[in-house]
Each structure stands twice: as structure tokens, then as C-alpha cells.
Chain A
Amino acid sequence: MDLVFWIPATLAVAGALGMVLSKRAVHSALFVALSMINLAVLYLNLSAPFLGMVQIIVYTGAVMMLFLFVLMIVGVDASDSLKETIKGQRLAATLIGGSFVAVISSMLSSTITTLQSDLATETINAGGNVQAIANLIFGRYVLAFEATSALLITAAVGAMVLAHRERAKPKLTQRETSKKRFEDYALAGKHPGPLPATGVYARHNAVDTPALLPDGSIAPNSVPGPMQARGSVRPVDEYDLQEVKDLSKGELVIELDHEGDHESK
């Protein structure tokens, strides 16, 4: 019994400390997830299985996952500036945090000393844990519950309104883009197929390697535009050029040997 308390409790506190102390934002988020899961274990241990499971599903599975998404996409990294932008925030944080701890501990101590017998787990969970919670939520606290749900729905609708973007033109469907491609081909002679792939030689096939046309010249567009603009197009080997030339003249024949490997003669 004690072990089931001390292990998750230690881990939960360690997670909370790790969240504050770690330098990378993603690590902080992971420590919070650790803390949340251990809190859920504590709830389970206190005969509140429903709360424990919901804690994991909602906080670990949804809320922290959203945080992680944002952190990963935005790419907050070790290069975060640690310079303080708000003056005196340490002092303010210490004061507010300290008073919060004082309030909580005084409340807790008064509750523990005047613990009522009807707060025993057996009485509360008499008809089953889930049923007891349902009775409270849809009975005594129904107004608070409804108000919270209205608040959450408002927040969700608000987020959607803020993120909504009016399209100037209707979105093109797959059919329309395909039509457009062939229109461009008919009018401007633009190739309707995909862009040429990068060059694949025995020596390298990275994205900066240009493909070669049969005459040995570089195929335009075979290296992505931004890389061309940056000038990071890999120069073509002399050997490659010679090989292409010989192949196009028919002086070089590539044959397959017994194992199926290429062998040029």
C-alpha cells in the first residue's frame, strides 16, 4: 500500500521538477506527461478509477499531446533565449506561488483535522465509483457542469472563428487541377507529367544531383528550385558525362551479369 503511494508520488514530483528545470521545451512537456500519468496512478490508488482513466485520456492523451504538437512544429529548441523580459517577475512569481501554497496547505490541514466520517471512500463509492460521479455531476453540480461545457464550447467555436479563412476562389478539386494541367500543355506546351527526378548514379543520388539528358546536358528542373537559387547544385562528374555520351552513341552497353548487378563493358 505504501509502496503504491511512494513510487508514483516520487515520480510525479520528479516530473514536476524536471518540467521546471529542463532546458528543452519538448523535454519539459514530456516531464509534465510523466507527472500526469503518476497522478492518475494515485487517483486509482485512492479508489477513483474513473478519474484516473479520464486524467490519462484527457490530460496526457489530448492536452499534453497538443502542447507537444505545437512545440515540435514551431521548433522551440535549446537555443531559447533565457533573458528575462518582464522586470521583477521572479519576485512576483515567488510571492504569488508562496501565497498559493499557504492557502492550499491551510485548507488541507483544516480538512484533515475535521475529517468527516461521510467522506470515507466506502460511503462515497457505495453504488459504484462511476455512478457516484454521475450522481454528483448530473445532480448537485449540474449547473456548474453545464456552465463549464458552455464555456468550453464557446472557446472551441471562438478558436474556429479566429482560425477561419475565407477563400477568394473555391478550392480546386483533383479533376480541375488535372484539367488545368492539360490546358497548360495545350496552350503553352508545359509538360503535364511530374518534374524530372534527380540524377541517380552509382556514386550519389542526393536531391542536389541533377539528372542528365541523353546528350549529357543537365535536365532543367531536376533539382528543386530553392536549391538552384542557393547555387547548391552538385557538379556532374566527368565520368558520368562520358558514360552518358558513350551510351547515347551506342559504344557502351550495360549488361546484367548472373546476379542481376549492372556491369558496364
Chain B
Amino acid sequence: MIFLRNPTLDDFGIDPWWLIVIKVLGVFVVLVLLTLFSIWAERRVVAKMQIRVGPNRVGPFGLLQSLMDGIKLALKEDLVPKNAARFVFLIAPVISVTAAFMALAVIPFGPMVSIFGVWTPLQLTDFSVSVLYVLAIASVGIYGLVLAGWASGSTYSLLGGLRSSAQMISYEIAMGLSFVAVFLYAGTMSTSEIVNAQEKLWYAVLLLPSFVIYTTSMVGETNRAPFDLPEAEGELVGGFHTEYSSLKFALFFLAEYVNMVTVSALATTLFLGGWRAPWPFSGIPGANEGWMPLIWFFGKLLAFIFIFIWLRGTLPRLRYDQFMNFGWKTLIPVSLGWIMVVAVARTLIQESVLTNTRTLIILAAPIALLLLLSIVVEMRKKEPEIDELEVEVLANSFPIPPMSAALPKTQTKLAVENVRDSNG
């Protein structure tokens, strides 16, 4: 029982080969099952929100629907456009899906457990910069989209691919910046040690702004609603995967959902204490030992996936320029400012110049002042006045544009007189 402790970096890289195989297969199976489940959940939950039933025919509660859809997709005709760059067209979905699967290798699912008599952490691997590894893999995954867009030899695909990669690169910056505060507090970039560092307090509480920025940018990073501009049907047909069909399309679909699981798992690990039990349950003896933490981990993960679905069912899609402005002009500057605050607080506490509470007050006061000031400025801003139109609504005349379409007064009168004349 001496092994019931928090895993450290020394516990990794010493597994026997058969255990590595089991862990790799475990990660793969978990991701595929979660994908099948979340596609089903998405359709059912969105249906519920729209007062429909959703898929309920195949299997109990329609649970096997996504499996059937997958088989149907695989059996469809595999089309390659005439002016596609064949090889690149072929490997693009493979790059996309491989990168998506690889990122989950460093996510801790639980503490030390015994598998066939070998004590090992419930995590495939970990090393000193594993969070950076996730970012690196994500940036390789973007290649899949860009290449798919380019290799299809179609304008819609090219524009969709460029748009989605521009979006993902922009939001990756905000995402990376939101990690910095966590690194500063945990003093490490390894996932298992970050989970260990959250034994007392989750970083979602301690570093709330970072958490908010991360959750916002993870939706942008996965190209999900309300940030699903790459596949804005009205503008780009299907975006980068317009020309894809059959299994290749299925791979992109798989990659999207696996990415959703990965970013949710990362959010759980970095901000919600990873596999650690949430407050009322943490009092149960043995809640953070052995296989029990799997419940807490997957509970938090599924909560994030539900939020993804909820967002999709609720929010309309953003316009592209609004979305980019939001990323570059709001998220990134706010992140940078917040990192400064965290760094100063961290130094003050570490050098023991000030105690925790005093530091908090000193740092919070100017922020509160700034907020107050911005509210005052916002309140003093005058609403732009709309000139009242003196337009008579003529009986039987053509509908007149609404009041908001204000005209200079003289022009309006002219227009109205014209209508009168023509009516006789």
C-alpha cells in the first residue's frame, strides 16, 4: 500500500512493454468510444433543446446510431477530385487524426494503480514539458486542415482551410498564454505534477481569468459553434472538407470529436484538479486512490463535452471579423495583463515581502478601480441619436423602410412626395 501516493516524473518511462501496449490501446479505445458517445449525445441533447426526439431507433436510446453512421460513411464511394494533389489529399486527414489521437498520451487519468501486479500511474507517459507537447501536436494537426484545403483543388476548400488554420493559430496564442499562469503557480510543465499541485485548491478558482480564457479559446481551437466559421455553410459550403467523402471525411469527423475530448481533458487537468475528487466527495476515504479517480476524471470531462453541446444548441455563429477581433484585441491583451499580475503576485509571495491576503488586496484594488472606471465611461457614453422621421404611412402604398433606416430629412420628404405623385 506504500504505492498509494501521487505519481512523480520518476514513475514514467519504466513500464514493461506489455503495459505500454495496454495503455496505448486503452487511450485509443477511450477516445473512439467517447467520440461515438459524444456524437450520439450531441444529437440527443440538441434535439432535447429543440423539443425534438433525436436518434432513438438503433440500439437502446439510439446509442448505436453513430456506429451505424460510421459504417455507412465507410461504405460510401470514395471520390478524389480531378485536379486534386493526390498524395497530399490522401495524407491530410491522416495527419489530422493522428495528431488528434497523440495529444491524449500525456493526460493523467488517475494516480498509481496496480495492473497485473505492476504499480504504475494511470497515464501513458509524462515528461518535464508535456503541456508544451500538447501545443506542439496541436500545431502539427493544423497542417491536416491546411493541406486538405489546398490539395482539394477547389476554391471553397482552399478558403476554408486557410480560414480554419488562421483561426486555430490565433486562438492557440491565447491558449498558450492562459497556460503560463498555471506554469507559474505549479512551477512545472508536466501534467501529473500540475495535478499534484492542485491538491488543495483548483486553479480554476485560483486563476479564474486564465480558466475563462482557456475555455473560450478551446472552443475556437476545436472549430466548434459559436466559432465554427471554417464550415460556415452559407459562405464556404463545407470548408476544408468540402471535397472529402467516405472514410477520409470520417477521419476529419473523428479528429474533430477527438480534439474536443482532448481539450476538455486538458482543461480538466490544468484547471479542475485532474482526477482529484471534487469537494463534497473528497472527504470519502479512498476517493483519490486506486481506480476511483477515473469516475471524477470522466465526470469532469463529460461536463465539458456537455458544455460544448450546450453552446452549439444555444449560440449563433460569430461573424469572421468579430471573431478575429475578439481573439486578437480582447483575449490576447487580457491574457498578457493577467500574466503580469500573476507574475508580480508570485514574486511578492515567494520573496515573502507580503502575505497572500495583502498581495491579493494590493493587486485587486487597481483592477477593481479599472473596472469601475470602465463602467463609468460606458455609462456616460451617449447612445447615437436617430433623427425622428416624419414619414406618413400612406394607405395602400408600398411598405416604407423601418425607422432605423434614417435619411436626411429633405431626401425623405422628396421620396415620400414621389410616392404620392405616382399614386395620383
Residues of B with C-beta under 8 A to A62: 139, 169
Interface size of B in residues (CB-CB distance below 8 Å): 36
Instruction: Bits for B220-261, please: 1 = Cβ < 8 Å to A, else 0.
Output: 000000000000000000000000000000000000000000
Q: A61-B140, A179-B406 are in contact. Are A186 and B146 (CB under 8 A)?
A: no
Query: B158 near A: Cβ within 8 Å?
Result: yes
Q: Which of A69, A130, A192 lies in contact with B162, CB distance below 8 A?
A: A69
Bound Cα distance from A27 to B189, whole angstroms: 35
Question: Across the interface, do A53 and B407 meet the contact criterion of CB distance under 8 Å?
Answer: no
Query: A219 near B: Cβ within 8 Å?
Result: no
Query: A244 near B: Cβ within 8 Å?
Result: no
Query: A145 near B: Cβ within 8 Å?
Result: no
Question: Across the interface, do B128 and A179 meet the contact criterion of CB distance under 8 Å?
Answer: no
List the B residue with the shortest CB-CB distance to A71: B150
Binds A, one of B22-30, B70-78, B130-138: B130-138
Interface size of A in residues (CB-CB distance below 8 Å): 33
Residues of A with C-beta under 8 A to B158: 72
Question: Across the interface, do B128 and A178 meet the contact criterion of CB distance under 8 Å?
Answer: no
Question: Across the interface, do B162 and A73 meet the contact criterion of CB distance under 8 Å?
Answer: yes
Bound Cα distance from A129 to B139, whole angstroms: 23
Give the shortest distance, in Å, between B200 (CB) and chain A (any CB). Answer: 23
Give the shortest distance, in Å, between B259 (CB) and chain A (any CB). Answer: 15
Query: A54 near B: Cβ within 8 Å?
Result: yes
- In the complex, number of A-B residue pairs with CB atoms less than 8 Å apart: 91
Query: A42 near B: Cβ within 8 Å?
Result: no
Give the shortest distance, in Å, between B326 (CB) and chain A (any CB). Answer: 16
Q: A128-B128, A129-B128 are in contact. Are A179 and B405 (CB under 8 A)?
A: yes
Bound Cα distance from A54 to B129, whole angstroms: 10
Query: A68 near B: Cβ within 8 Å?
Result: yes
Bound Cα distance from A257 to B139, whole angstroms: 52
Residues of B with C-beta under 8 A to A183: 405, 407, 411
Bound Cα distance from A198 to B143, whole angstroms: 35
Residues of A with C-beta under 8 A to B285: none
Bound Cα distance from A186 to B88, whole angstroms: 53
Question: Across the interface, do A53 and B133 meet the contact criterion of CB distance under 8 Å?
Answer: yes
Bound Cα distance from A185 to B189, whole angstroms: 60
Query: B37 near A: Cβ within 8 Å?
Result: no
Query: A163 near B: Cβ within 8 Å?
Result: no
Instruction: Bits for A41-81, please: 1 = Cβ < 8 Å to B, else 0.
Output: 00000000110011011001110010011001100000000
Q: Which of B147, B404, B415 lies in contact with A186, CB distance below 8 A?
A: B415
Bound Cα distance from A209 to B40, whole angstroms: 40
Residues of B with C-beta under 8 A to A73: 162
Residues of B with C-beta under 8 A to A129: 128-129
Query: A12 near B: Cβ within 8 Å?
Result: no
Question: Across the interface, do A60 and B139 meet the contact criterion of CB distance under 8 Å?
Answer: yes
Question: Across the interface, do B135 and A57 meet the contact criterion of CB distance under 8 Å?
Answer: yes
Query: B401 near A: Cβ within 8 Å?
Result: yes
Query: A33 near B: Cβ within 8 Å?
Result: yes
Bound Cα distance from A56 to B147, whole angstroms: 17
Question: Across the interface, do B129 and A72 meet the contact criterion of CB distance under 8 Å?
Answer: no
Bound Cα distance from A156 to B189, whole angstroms: 29
Question: Across the interface, do A50 and B129 meet the contact criterion of CB distance under 8 Å?
Answer: yes
Residues of A with C-beta under 8 A to B189: 130
Query: B164 near A: Cβ within 8 Å?
Result: no
Give the shortest distance, in Å, between B116 (CB) and chain A (any CB). Answer: 27
Question: Across the interface, do B405 and A178 meet the contact criterion of CB distance under 8 Å?
Answer: yes
Residues of A with C-beta under 8 A to B166: 69
Residues of B with C-beta under 8 A to A182: 401-402, 405
Residues of A with C-beta under 8 A to B150: 26, 68, 72
The interface centre, meaning the residue of B85, B88, B400, B401 with most chain A CB atoms within 10 A of its CB, is: B401
Bound Cα distance from A97 to B404, whole angstroms: 68
Query: B142 near A: Cβ within 8 Å?
Result: yes
Question: Across the interface, do A37 and B140 meet the contact criterion of CB distance under 8 Å?
Answer: yes
Query: B127 near A: Cβ within 8 Å?
Result: yes
Which residues of chain B in 393-421 are interfacial with respect to chain A, using CB atoms and an 8 Å cutoff?
400-402, 404-407, 411-412, 414-415
Query: B165 near A: Cβ within 8 Å?
Result: yes
Bound Cα distance from A192 to B407, whole angstroms: 15
Query: A197 near B: Cβ within 8 Å?
Result: no
List the A residue with the shortest CB-CB distance to B161: A72
Q: List 14 A-B contacts (CB under 8 A).
A: A37-B140, A53-B129, A57-B135, A57-B139, A60-B139, A61-B138, A61-B139, A61-B172, A65-B165, A69-B166, A72-B150, A130-B129, A182-B405, A183-B411
* New A-B pairs, 4, CB < 8 Å, besides A62-B139, A186-B415: A49-B128, A53-B129, A57-B139, A182-B405
B residues engaging A (CB < 8 A)? 85, 88, 127-129, 132-133, 135-136, 138-140, 142-143, 146-147, 149-150, 158, 162, 165-166, 169, 172, 189, 400-402, 404-407, 411-412, 414-415
